[in-house]
Structure 1
Amino acid sequence: MSDSRYSYDENAEVWPYFVLTLLSVVLIPATLIAYSRFTAKKETTDTYKSTFKADNDADIQKYRTKLKRNNLFTKLNVFVFFGWLVFAGLIYLITIQEPSADGAKIFDPYELLELPYSATEKEIKSTYRKLSLKYHPDKVHELGNFTREEVEARFVEITKAYKALTDEEVRENFIKYGHPDGPQETTHGIALPKWMVEGTGSPVVVSLYAIFFGVVLPWFVGKWWGSIQEYTKNGIHRDTAGLFFEEIIKDQPVFITHEKIVEFVSRAAEYKSLLPKLTPDDILELLNAHLERKPVKNELDKITVVARVPALLDGFLDIANAFKVPSLLTKIIEVRRAIIQAVPIKSLSNGELYQLPGATDAVLAATVTRVNDLIKIPAAEAKKALGTKDTAQTDNALNAAKNLPKITILSSKFKVPGEEVVPPQSQVHLIIKFSISSPVNTIPKFTEESLEEEETDILLRNPLSNSNKGPKLPYVIAPYFPVPEHTSWEVIVAAPGDKLVDGPVTLTNGTITKITKESKLVTQDDIEVNTFKLQLSMMSPQFLGSFNFDVQLLNKTYFGLDLSLKVPMVVENPPESTETEEDVYDIPDAEEDSLAGTMAQMKGEKVSKKKDNEDEEEEEEEEDFSDIDTDTDAEFESDDDDADFDEEEKKKK
């Protein structure tokens, strides 16, 4: 019966491997997460660099430096850095460590006899004879560098190896237990010295284990779980989400104003941890000071408050979506871009010029209110309309206006994949073809045929695969906002009467058409065509006819870049097939793996599973066999009838 014992790491050979393994399990995933965050922050997008500096630009730069430092020296990054240092130290320790002589060896008879694994029985016997003469204790007279005990041990090993390959009983022990002597004692290795487990150090080890598994590990797990439960999937505090939801119910969506939205944000639970000394009234005062572009005593507090607002409003937008009121969604987005561009709530109608770098309150009295009109008038008139200080500042504002990402809709329609029309009660997709360019460019009109896309098998299986593609849209020109922010649009589909049908869905990517200053009128070949698709959550109407929907593209960072479209959905029955009933009789269902099967599944029709070749062959054989049997029986019956008829005729004659 095998013995079971514990072996300890007295020579400190095992614990480096043990620690290295545990460290790798945690360190490698942590490194991948840290690397993904680092590369995400390093993404670059071409955008216009404004030379205008806000009055609190020095404080904004301090905040950005602090933010970069905080993002660099995160707990995760510090752990990864020191973790790899420890990892390198363990590797170095393992490489310089010499294995002890009493290390466990695997019994390999071929290795002990210095034979290849393909050796024949004759070669085994011949080799054993030579080695036994060399190491037999009675025949060895000159030991050389070996002791008498080493020679005897070597002779015992080669004898066991020979028997393991030739003797039946010994060979059976070797096959079953891996050793010619049968079962060996089982040792359980502990990667600690014996004194730490069984000696005076035992209480220390037990205490450390108890502290780690009873206190430290539960604390980390509880903190992790608490952080998950504390925030919603949109990244806002659950108390903040509850506040937004309650306020919408209490005030009713249609009666919530822009000022109310700013007030809701000031009461967010996030500010209790970011700025615990400030009350909601203090937060509201800082927000209004930012919107009015007024300095405050502590600019860093104001910047900290402002930097958090877009994320809070994105969460508010998602909560408001449940109430299906497009006007409330529009107000939330307008407040969001007012915060980014530092435009007063009372001046939202003038935000298109107010957002330009260097613009002042003079825009409130200007006769020009649109960017498209501003870039067409002389520079002197533009300077007066914007209230800029000098010509250089005016030129900077005009250049910023010319670099705004204007979106142009090339086509918009509702479509059911795989169908020529929109049938009743079908899954509909809104398809928008658009381009993004400078406001100074005039985009030519496209025909529907030039924008048609080929419905490949991949596109039919995943109709949204080519939607929202391309690089991320440029960073917004916002000198008063402390954090870099990509521009984007929210797409909303509404029915008449301010009823939300679908959305908002964010449009974040697209290739920008870059046109030289000399060329303002371009051709279709110069245009970068982008695609955005939205799968409606509702089915098409069950009645035939034309139904109009309002599609809004609301920019989340700029004023004056919104679009509103009227897109009709014409519901009609599919064209009747020209095939006769005989042509389509007994046609099997389309197979699920085929192109026809994919289209049938999207229409809700039945499809057949792909049959194995063997099943098909068996069915064909059965059909052929049944046909042959039937025909043969009929022939036999016919022949018997003819014979009986001939006999009767003969008797009559």
Structure 2
Amino acid sequence: MSDSRYSYDENAEVWPYFVLTLLSVVLIPATLIAYSRFTSKKETTDAYKSTFKPDNDADIQKYRTKLKRSSLFTKLNVFVFFGWVAFAGLIYLITIQEPSADGAKIFDPYELLGLSYSASDKDIKSSYRKLSLKYHPDKVHELGNFTREEVEARFVEITKAYKALTDEEIRENYIKYGHPDGPQETTHGIALPKWMIEGTGSPVIVSLYAIFFGVVLPWFVGKWWGSIQEYTKNGIHRDTAGLFFEEIIKDQPVFITHEKIVEFVSRAAEYKSLLPRLTPDDILELLNAHLERKTVKNELDKITVVARVPAILDGFLDIASAFKVPSLLTKIIEVRRAVIQAVPIKSLSSGELYQLPGATDAVFAATVTRVSELIKLPTAEAKKVLGTKDTAQTENAVNAAKNLPKITVLSSKFKVPGEEVVPPQSQVHLIVKFSISSPANTIPKFTEESLEEEETDALLRNPLSNSNKGPKLPYTIAPYFPVPEHTSWEAIVSAPGDKLVDGPAALTNGIITNITKESKLVTQDDIKVNTFKLQLSMMSPQFLGSFNFDVQLLNKTYFGLDLSLKVPMVIANPPESTEPEEDVYDIPDAEEDSLAGTMAQMKGEKVSKKKENEDEEEEEEEDLSDIDTDTDAEFESDEDDADFDEEEKKKK
């Protein structure tokens, strides 16, 4: 008769293991995510440490401290911390608890008889004889430390152990079921205390289940889904993206000015949650105050507004790329770096010098406008150009100028991987070889042969595998911007007539060549060559000839570091094979999932898909072949019969 009652974990022997397992399933992945976020800062080239402090530096430091604190005490980090505290508590509870006397015991006859597993039959009988005499119920008076019931139980165990090793039938039960008495009763329990299920705690547990599954879980799922719906993949609010999209359609991309872009930013939906008490006009006023380097009554509000701008403009950049107008992309990037460097919109042309630490409005009237010219001037003249307060501030600004990461293009070309020429209607890659160095360095020219890369099988399979490699570029020298921002470029490929072909594509990594070196000339051995590749989304032109494309590398954080290149794309047919026709075999097209197929696709050639019913087609061919053979045999048989009849007639 089965027992319908449940057994409960009253002594906390099982439920800690159960809770520990469930906690581990959630806690370990959460810890890995938190750790990856903490260590997500890839290797970064050291940035120049400027000594200049703006007027609102104290407020900027307050904001940075607040930002660090908020990034440390995130919901995930708090959960991980308390999760590991609970984990340690459960481990401690498991280690201090004592096993219950009622717990299941493994029946080991050798242990009960005090024997080793290699004991002989003689040893078994000898040990049994001694123990049975010692623990016989009639001698309970000699064992003062045991009760009669304990002695009887021990005597029964000794007897079972002896029979399990000597009696064939009992030994078979022991081998088969692990116990001389055969199958033992198996109990199944609930790994929770009884009071939580059947006692006063039962309504509480049911209520907690109802609250969790009926309120808490739907709320979290709804909030998560709402956040996904509210923000685009680029991290900007959907209302902000919709606003910018509508404005582009209404005003046309070519008529959108820098001032308009700043106005669009002030109307971003992000600020409704960040600073709900401020109107778009208030935000626009704070943005203009930052660009003019003016202090306001509430500097923290201004800093909060400014810190969000680059992310919003990055979203604008992605939306604008769909309209295929390079000039609009350029304006967005110019506004982005104007915000980071606190340069007025009306003075963007002077931004290259005005962005230097300590530079004042004096640069607007200066005849020197380029960093390359400034670093050649004596300190006294540089001080006049920049309008700095003293010699120390001037030297700091000039040193910052020498540490700007300047790109020097060593070679640029369009190429189809594995081909010597660019065939018509093929998949083309833009390949730019470049170095990053100080404006004080002069980079020597490289021969085209020295920059050629070996096209290995791995590189042919993934031509972009060696693109944008190296450590992340250094943080931007931007004393007025509250958030650390890495230097980066956006590559834009356009055709004549302000038509976007591809991009923007981010260039964020690279090895810097002697960026602080003072020498005017370096050798090729000192140069660290970097590679940037961009796979064009369009196929190459279908007509033969030379087509010029404009390639722009626009810096997102500094003025004066942009590059504009004219890169020709020469379309030519691949050289024909010189082998005789008789040596050319009928080779089928390469399959699409093979290396040859990948190369053929890049060239614009046809590739064959894997045949699914290949065997069936072969069988059909065999059947047709059999039919033809049988038919031929019938024809031959009829001809033979006709010849035989003719010969018979002649004989007659």
Normalising by the residue count of structure 2, what TM-score does the alignment of the two structures yield?
0.87
Alpha carbons of 1:480 and 1:116: their partners in 2 closer, same or farther (altered >3 Å)? Answer: same
Alpha carbons of 1:128 and 1:453: their partners in 2 closer, same or farther (altered >3 Å)? Answer: farther
Alpha carbons of 1:293 and 1:582: their partners in 2 closer, same or farther (altered >3 Å)? Answer: same
Q: Deviations over 1:465-519 (max 9, x none)?
A: 1110001101111111011110100001111111111110110000000166452
Stretch deviating more after TM superposition (169-178 or 98-107): 169-178
Distance 1:130 1:648 in 2: 115
Percent identity between matched residues is: 92
Question: How far apart are residue 79 of structure 1 and its match?
Answer: 2.1
Is 1:624 matched with 2:623?
yes
Equivalent residue pairs, number: 652
Mapped contact 1:23–1:83 kept (Cα < 8 A): yes
Q: Tell me, what secondary structure is at the counterpart of 1:223? A: helix
Question: How far apart are residue 110 of structure 1 and its match?
Answer: 6.9
Mapped contact 2:12–2:193 kept (Cα < 8 A): yes
Mapped contact 2:43–2:471 kept (Cα < 8 A): no
Stretch deviating more after TM superposition (470-479 or 157-166): 157-166
Alignment partner, residue 639 of structure 1: 638
Alignment partner, residue 340 of structure 1: 340
Alpha carbons of 1:196 and 1:590: their partners in 2 closer, same or farther (altered >3 Å)? Answer: closer
Stretch deviating more after TM superposition (310-319 or 198-207): 198-207
Alignment partner, residue 649 of structure 1: 648
Q: Which runs of 5+ in 1 are unaligned?
A: none
Q: Deviations over 1:115-146 (max 9, x none)?
A: 78899999989987887777665798854755
CA RMSD of aligned residues (A): 5.1
Q: Deviations over 1:60-105 (max 9, x none)?
A: 1111111112112222222222222222222222212111111123
Is 1:289 matched with 2:289?
yes
Q: Tell me, what secondary structure is at the counterpart of 1:40? A: coil
Question: How far apart are residue 375 of structure 1 and its match?
Answer: 1.8
Mapped contact 1:20–1:90 kept (Cα < 8 A): yes
Alpha carbons of 1:496 and 1:621: their partners in 2 closer, same or farther (altered >3 Å)? Answer: closer
Stretch deviating more after TM superposition (295-304 or 642-651): 642-651
Mapped contact 1:4–1:185 kept (Cα < 8 A): no
Alignment partner, residue 55 of structure 1: 55
Alpha carbons of 1:101 and 1:271: their partners in 2 closer, same or farther (altered >3 Å)? Answer: same
Question: How far apart are residue 219 of structure 1 and its match?
Answer: 2.0
Alpha carbons of 1:61 and 1:118: their partners in 2 closer, same or farther (altered >3 Å)? Answer: same
Distance 1:362 1:562 in 2: 24
Distance 2:123 2:574 in 1: 84
Q: Deviations over 1:24-45 (max 9, x none)?
A: 2222222222222222359653
Question: How far apart are residue 429 of structure 1 and its match?
Answer: 0.8
Alpha carbons of 1:618 and 1:122: their partners in 2 closer, same or farther (altered >3 Å)? Answer: farther
Alpha carbons of 1:118 and 1:254: their partners in 2 closer, same or farther (altered >3 Å)? Answer: farther
Mapped contact 1:4–1:187 kept (Cα < 8 A): no
Q: Deviations over 1:139-158 (max 9, x none)?
A: 98854755443444345456
Question: How far apart are residue 621 of structure 1 and its match?
Answer: 22
Alpha carbons of 1:404 and 1:178: their partners in 2 closer, same or farther (altered >3 Å)? Answer: same
Alpha carbons of 1:187 and 1:255: their partners in 2 closer, same or farther (altered >3 Å)? Answer: farther
Normalising by the residue count of structure 1, what TM-score does the alignment of the two structures yield?
0.87
Question: How far apart are residue 165 of structure 1 and its match?
Answer: 7.7
Alpha carbons of 1:422 and 1:163: their partners in 2 closer, same or farther (altered >3 Å)? Answer: farther
Question: How far apart are residue 198 of structure 1 and its match?
Answer: 1.1
Alpha carbons of 1:145 and 1:608: their partners in 2 closer, same or farther (altered >3 Å)? Answer: farther
Distance 2:36 2:602 in 1: 37
Distance 1:583 1:125 in 2: 90
Q: Deviations over 1:413-448 (max 9, x none)?
A: 111111111111111111110000011111111111
Distance 2:133 2:645 in 1: 104
Alpha carbons of 1:609 and 1:272: their partners in 2 closer, same or farther (altered >3 Å)? Answer: closer
Stretch deviating more after TM superposition (43-52 or 537-546): 43-52
Mapped contact 2:403–2:516 kept (Cα < 8 A): no
Stretch deviating more after TM superposition (352-361 or 208-217): 208-217
Mapped contact 1:303–1:482 kept (Cα < 8 A): yes
Question: How far apart are residue 652 of structure 1 and its match?
Answer: 19
Alpha carbons of 1:124 and 1:645: their partners in 2 closer, same or farther (altered >3 Å)? Answer: farther
Is 1:145 matched with 2:145?
yes
Alpha carbons of 1:392 and 1:6: their partners in 2 closer, same or farther (altered >3 Å)? Answer: same
Alignment partner, residue 72 of structure 2: 72
Alpha carbons of 1:618 and 1:293: their partners in 2 closer, same or farther (altered >3 Å)? Answer: closer
Q: Deviations over 1:232-291 (max 9, x none)?
A: 111111221221212212221111111111111111111111111111110000000000
Alignment partner, residue 479 of structure 1: 479
Distance 2:314 2:581 in 1: 56
Alpha carbons of 1:639 and 1:29: their partners in 2 closer, same or farther (altered >3 Å)? Answer: same
Mapped contact 2:476–2:484 kept (Cα < 8 A): yes
Question: How far apart are residue 328 of structure 1 and its match?
Answer: 0.8
Question: How far apart are residue 317 of structure 1 and its match?
Answer: 0.7
Q: Deviations over 1:380-428 (max 9, x none)?
A: 3322222222222222211111111000100011111111111111111
Question: How far apart are residue 48 of structure 1 and its match?
Answer: 1.2
Question: How far apart are residue 201 of structure 1 and its match?
Answer: 2.4
Q: Which runs of 5+ in 2 are unaligned?
A: none
Mapped contact 1:330–1:554 kept (Cα < 8 A): yes
Distance 2:167 2:632 in 1: 71
Mapped contact 2:441–2:517 kept (Cα < 8 A): no
Stretch deviating more after TM superposition (317-326 or 35-44): 35-44
Alpha carbons of 1:165 and 1:77: their partners in 2 closer, same or farther (altered >3 Å)? Answer: same
Alpha carbons of 1:96 and 1:379: their partners in 2 closer, same or farther (altered >3 Å)? Answer: same
Stretch deviating more after TM superposition (341-350 or 596-605): 596-605
Q: Tell me, what secondary structure is at the counterpart of 2:343? A: coil
Distance 1:86 1:429 in 2: 54
Q: Deviations over 1:357-397 (max 9, x none)?
A: 11122222111111112222333332222222222222221
Alpha carbons of 1:533 and 1:622: their partners in 2 closer, same or farther (altered >3 Å)? Answer: same
Distance 2:488 2:91 in 1: 48
Mapped contact 1:3–1:186 kept (Cα < 8 A): no
Alignment partner, residue 34 of structure 1: 34
Question: How far apart are residue 8 of structure 1 and its match?
Answer: 1.1
